[in-house]
Amino acid sequence: MSALTADPETLIRALPLWRGPIDIAPLLGGITNKNYIVTDGDRKVVIRLGGDIPVHGVMRFNELAASKAAGAAGVSPKVLCAAPMAMALEYVPGQTYEPEDVRKNRRRCVDLVKRVHREVAQHLRGPTLAFNVFHIIRDYAHTLVEDRSRISQQLPGLLAASEILETATGPIDLVFGHNDLLAANFIDDGQRLWLVDWDYAGWNTPLFDLGGLSSNNGFDAAEDEALLEDYFEVAPTDVLRRRFKAMLCASLLREALWSFVSESRSAIDFDYVAYSDQNMLRFDDAWAAFRQMEKA
């Protein structure tokens, strides 16, 4: 992965944003970037530091375009300024969600995701990326073979499963999606929800965000049913359920392979091994349920 070309404090202090002396504190929890909160007099600013990460498809021109568009659409904090390796955003005080918060606030979260899909693209400028989960899975497999990953021997079976899931998903509609709907990317300020961290944003099927919302936050079968009805505003059909479950499985497989790649490629202090194993177990359970659905 790309390394910072200067120490974080130097990058932050060089931004043409500050009104006077500043105080810099790390913002914990990120597993792709290094994030900071800067106090500048009576205001706070969030700083995201990081360069391109081609192995994960993270390109900062795309993140910046998505962040600006999401800010203009009112679904995310506004971008204050950007420089190579750094982006400054408005600070939103509020509660960062845990998975149980997402489940309790399912309808609010789905409504926000619908706004993202309907409104962010209207504010995009310049070139932006696609996010094809099945291409990403195949590309991760190549990287994991090159890295002699501990998962290497299982990759042929996982790629075969991915092909089945891709066929089951079928033709897709395109929206500009967030593609990383972890609970921690939702912030509740007491009046409304915000969605942050647009590293993986790109053109995708809405089913990926819906599958990710479910798989990342522990939805059960009844919650999945309600999720689909909330989003599509009609009772889901068996065809839609099958396509959704296929994409849910794909989102879990992609998350697991992302973590396996990060085991060898990331310099961030995070237990990727445990995260990889957790997501593989969740994929195995979802894949078994999908195969059972196919037999029914």
pLDDT tier at 2 (50, 70, 90 boundaries)?
very low
Torsion 160-208-68-266 (CA) sign: negative
CA atoms of 28 and 261, how far apart (whole Å): 22
In the predicted model, is pLDDT for residue 15 greater than 90? yes
The position carrying tokens 């995708």 is 204
Check pLDDT > 70 for residue 258.
Answer: yes
Closest CA to 118 of 39, 233, 234: 233
The DSSP secondary structure of 101-165, one letter per residue, reads HHHHTHHHHHHHHHHHHHHGGGG--S---B--HHHHHHHHHHHHHHTT-TTGGGHHHHHHHHHHH
Between these two residues, 270 and 203, which has the higher pLDDT value?
203
CA dihedral of residues 114, 117, 123, 128 (deg, nearest 10): 150
Alpha carbon 67 to its chain's center = 13
Using alpha carbons only, what angle is made at residue 66 by residues 267 and 138, rounded to the nearest 5 degrees?
55
Q: Could you tell me where in the chain the CATH 3.90.1200.10 domains are found?
A: 96-295
Predicted model pTM: 0.93
Handedness of CA 205, 101, 284, 1 (dihedral sign): positive
96-295 folds as Aminoglycoside 3'-phosphotransferase; Chain: A, domain 2 (3.90.1200)
* pLDDT of res. 30: 67
| pLDDT digit string, tens, across residues 210-249 | 999 999 999 999 999 999 999 999 999 999 999 999 999 9
Domain 8-91 has CATH 3.40.630.30: no
Could you give the CA distance from residue 201 to residue 43 in angstroms, rounded to a whole number?
28
Structure confidence by residue, pLDDT tens digits, 277-288: 999 999 999 999
Q: How confident is the model at residue 3 (pLDDT cuts 50, 70, 90)?
A: very low
Q: CA-to-CA distance for 38 and 171, rounded, in angstroms? A: 45
Residue ranges matching CATH 3.30.200.20 in the chain: 8-91
Q: How does residue 7 score in pLDDT terms, banded at 50, 70 and 90?
A: confident
